[in-house]
Amino acid sequence: MNTEKILLAHGSGGKLTHRLIREVFLKEFGNELLEELGDSAIFPVAEGKLAYTTDSYVVDPIFFPGGDIGRLSVCGTVNDLAMSGAKPLYLSASFIIEEGFGLTELKTIVSSMKKAAEEAGIKVVCGDTKVVPKGGVDKIFITTSGIGLIPSGTEISPRRIMVGDEIIINGTIGDHEIAILSQREGLEFSSKIQSDVAPLNHLVASMLEVAGNEIHALRDPTRGGLATTLNEFVHNAEFGIKIYEDKIPITDGVRGVCELLGLDPLYVANEGKLVAVVSQNSRQKVFPCLKKNTLGLNARVIGEVIPEPKGMVLLVTRIGGTRIVDMLTGEQLPRIC
C-alpha cells in the first residue's frame, strides 16, 4: 500500500506539481491536447452551435456505493451537456486537494474519472491542481466544465414544451442521494442501494436519432430532485404539469429509507436520470430505444403537460387525490453532489 501524501508543494507550480501532472493526470487522461501542457488546450471547431457548462463537486463521502467523486464529476457535466442535446467533446478538471490527502486515493479518483470519460466518449483536455493547508478544505473537491457540439437542427429547450406533451423518466428516482445518505449514516439495511451515477449522453443521442425534434425538453433531476426539475419547466410558463404518483418508478429500498427518514422522494437527487418532455405521439418511437439501453430499462411515462393551472406541478396521489408539488424550500442534505 502506497501511503504517499499530497503535499503543499504538489500545488506550488514547481517540480512536484509537474511530477503529479505526469504521473497521475497525464497517465490516466493522456491525449494529444492535454499533453501539450499549454496555458490552454487548443482544438479546431466546425461552424455550429456549442454547449458549455460547469459544476463543482463536494460530495461527502467521496467514495460511495455505485461511484465516487471522480465518476460523479465527469457524469454530472456530461449529463448537463447531453440535456442540451449536445454531443460531449471536451472536459476540464480542476482539483482542490487538502494537504495530507492520500496519493492512492487521488489515483483511484482520477482512474474513475478516466473510466467515466471513456464511457461518455469525452476527452479531458485541461486542468488545474491546488493544494490547501490541512483544514482549509475537506479532503478533495473537483470542478469540471465541459464543451459539447449541438448537432445541426437540434433544438432542445423548455420553450418548446406544449400542452399535451408527455413526461418521461428513464428509471427509478432517488437512488443517488439515498445511497450517499445510507453510507453517511451507516444505514446497514440499505447497503444494497447504489447511486445511479452514469453518463446519459449515448441514451440521449439514440432518443434524438429516432424522435428528433419531437423531443422538446430534457433535464437531469439532480439537486432538488424530480419536483424541482418539473417546477423549473413550468416557471413563468403558459402551461402546467400533472404527474401520477403510481407511475413514478422507485425501488422498495429507496422508498423504505425515505419513509424511515421522512424524506419525500420527489425531492431526492438523481445522477443518472433524465426527464424528457416529448410530443404526444412520439412515445412509440422513444420507448423501444430507451428499453434497449440499460439506463432506460425502467423508463415510464409519468405524466403530461396540461393547460391549467399554469405554472404549477400537480401530483395525482396513489389514493386519487391531487396536490401541488412546489419547488424545494428550505434545506436539503448538504454535500450530496
Residue 36 or 238 having the CB closest to its own copies: 36
Regarding 41 and contact with its own copies (CB under 8 A), the answer is yes
Residue 119 or 232 having the CB closest to its own copies: 232
Other beta carbons less than 10 A from residue 15's beta carbon: 10
β-pairing verdict for 67-68 and 123-132:
unpaired
Backbone region of residue 121 per phi and psi (left: phi > 0; alpha: psi in -120 to 50; beta: other values): left
Reading the block at residue 279, the C-alpha cell is 410530443
Residues 6+ apart with CB under 8 A from 144: 54, 55, 57, 73, 74, 76, 77, 91, 92, 93, 94
In the sheet where 140-150 sits, what is the strand order?
123-132, 87-98, 140-150
CB of 207 to its own copies, least distance (A): 15
Q: Which of 4, 23, 104, 136 binds its own copies (CB under 8 A)?
A: 136
Q: Which of 115, 130, 255, 283 binds its own copies (CB under 8 A)?
A: 130
The site string for its own copies over 146-165 (x = CB under 8 A, - otherwise) reads: xxx-x------xx-------
| Binding residues among 270-329 for its own copies as defined by CB under 8 A | 327-329
How many whole angstroms separate alpha carbon 223 and alpha carbon 333?
9
Regarding 192 and contact with its own copies (CB under 8 A), the answer is no
Residues 6+ apart with CB under 8 A from 313: 227, 230, 231, 234, 240, 241, 242, 243, 324, 325, 326
Regarding 45 and contact with its own copies (CB under 8 A), the answer is yes
| Binding residues among 248-277 for its own copies as defined by CB under 8 A | 267, 269
Regarding 7 and contact with its own copies (CB under 8 A), the answer is yes
Regarding 52 and contact with its own copies (CB under 8 A), the answer is yes
Residue 233 CA, chain-centre distance (Å), reads 18
CB of 185 to its own copies, least distance (A): 15
Q: Segment near its own copies (CB under 8 A), from 61-69, 85-93, 100-108, 307-315?
A: 85-93
β-pairing verdict for 240-244 and 313-316:
parallel
Regarding 78 and contact with its own copies (CB under 8 A), the answer is no
Q: Which of 25, 29, 64, 90 binds its own copies (CB under 8 A)?
A: 90
